[in-house]
Amino acid sequence: MNEIVIVRDGSAVTTTLAIADGTENEHASVIKLVRTYEGDLTEFGLVRFEIQPRSVGQHGGGDSEYAVLNEQQSTLLLTYMRNSEVVRAFKKRLVKQFWEMAEQLRSKPLSQAQMFLQSAQLMADLERRQLEQAETVARIESRIEEVEQKTQILAICPTNAEPITKIRRRINEKYGLSGLIVDEVIRQTPYAPKPAGIVRNAREEADGATYQVFWVKDVNNVFKRFVSECQAVTETLYTHPFIGCRFQMRLKEEA
């Protein structure tokens, strides 16, 4: 048997018949090995069993059962065989033919049926992703609505709270951190402070817009922790596990 790798349903496969012939083993022992380790083989896909009528005059008569295996399954099955010279030589032939068949399949133009199937699969995948995105957006919108309902909109900012604009200026003066880094710490880090509330902008041109404010004490604690976790790269550049780039900072606090 020269061709040990064939194409079935557009995929490269081999059979226990080819493996038995190539490794000079009885097919009965090879198919028994498949049955013994079928649980291991199914981790790489369903093991297909097929029936082939025996040739006229073949010993025993009747039909012969054999298994169809993909590249991973056949490679794994060979590891369960005694590693003789014949088995090692067959392994090399098998690997080479699987590689050659994969190259042929990649370069072979798709038939109309295959292109239709591929398009259908792409459309199904696109619809699935769109549904997942819609569900995610719905959950986020529901959560935002829930938060807004639970959060009181204040007429003025509490004296012990501050908006992000003031936090940026204050933390920059204290630690030399840029506004971008301040925003990352306030909004993206796992220990970001919870908002103290939402304040309605009283300016007429704001047209009823609102903004978040944070408790000053919470902001101070968050940045004290953040600064303590920073690692110096140079005298002025630092890194932090939650920040994806180097940034400038000074550790000496001002009075």
The predicted-structure confidence for 193-208, as pLDDT tens digits, reads as follows 998 888 888 776 667 7
Helices (H), the chain: 16-23, 27-36, 38-41, 71-79, 85-107, 112-150, 164-175, 179-187, 216-229
Would you state the pLDDT for residue 210?
86
Q: What is the pLDDT of residue 254?
A: 44
Q: Decide: helix, strand or coil at residue 249.
A: coil
Closest CA to 166 of 214, 208, 203: 214
pLDDT of residue 130: 79
In the predicted model, residues of the chain with pLDDT beneath 70 are 1-2, 54-63, 107-111, 114-115, 118, 143-152, 204-206, 252-255
The Cα 219–Cα 231 span in angstroms is 20
Q: Determine the pLDDT at residue 60.
A: 46
Backbone angles phi, psi at 174, to 5 degrees: -85, -40
pLDDT at residue 58, rounded to an integer: 45
Q: In the chain, where are the structural domains located?
A: 6-107, 112-150, 154-248
Instruction: Find where tokens 């819609």 sit.
Output: 134
User: Amino acid identity of 124?
Assistant: A
